[in-house]
């Protein structure tokens, strides 16, 4: 039987309908809902880094964008 840890899916882009592998982590905070230190994370592929970033940026939510690297222990 499969190792349960092996069933962890490759992190995907958070954009609706996008199944591309995540390449970027967008860290954001909604001051109306979250304490200032709190960070929500959206994952984005190369294409949607801008789309999602614009969405968050337009609302003043975007705090940080960092390259997202899946676990370095994974192959490839």
Binding site for Zn ion (CB under 5 A): 13, 15, 18, 20, 45, 48
Task: Between 46 and 64, name the residue whose CB sits nearer to Zn ion.
Answer: 46
Residue 74: CB minimum distance to Zn ion, A: 20
Q: Which is nearer to Zn ion, 6 or 55 (CB)?
A: 55
Q: What is the DSSP letter of 32?
A: T
Find the angle CA(70)-CA(75)-CA(76) to the nearest 5 degrees.
85
**Rounded CA gap, 20 and 63, in Å?**
23
* 29 or 44: CB nearest Zn ion: 44
Q: Return d(Cα 26, Cα 40) in angstroms, integer.
A: 8
Minimum CB distance to Zn ion, residue 55 (Å):
12
Min separation Cβ 22 and Zn ion, Å: 8
């Amino acid at each position: 039987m499969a190792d349960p840890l092996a069933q962890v899916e490759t992190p995907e882009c958070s954009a609706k309908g996008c199944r591309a592998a995540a390449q970027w982590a967008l860290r954001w905070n909604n001051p109306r809902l979250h304490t200032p230190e709190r960070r929500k994370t959206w994952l984005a592929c190369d294409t949607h880094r801008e789309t999602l970033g614009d969405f968050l940026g337009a609302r003043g939510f975007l705090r940080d964008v960092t390259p997202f690297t899946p676990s370095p222990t994974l192959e490839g």
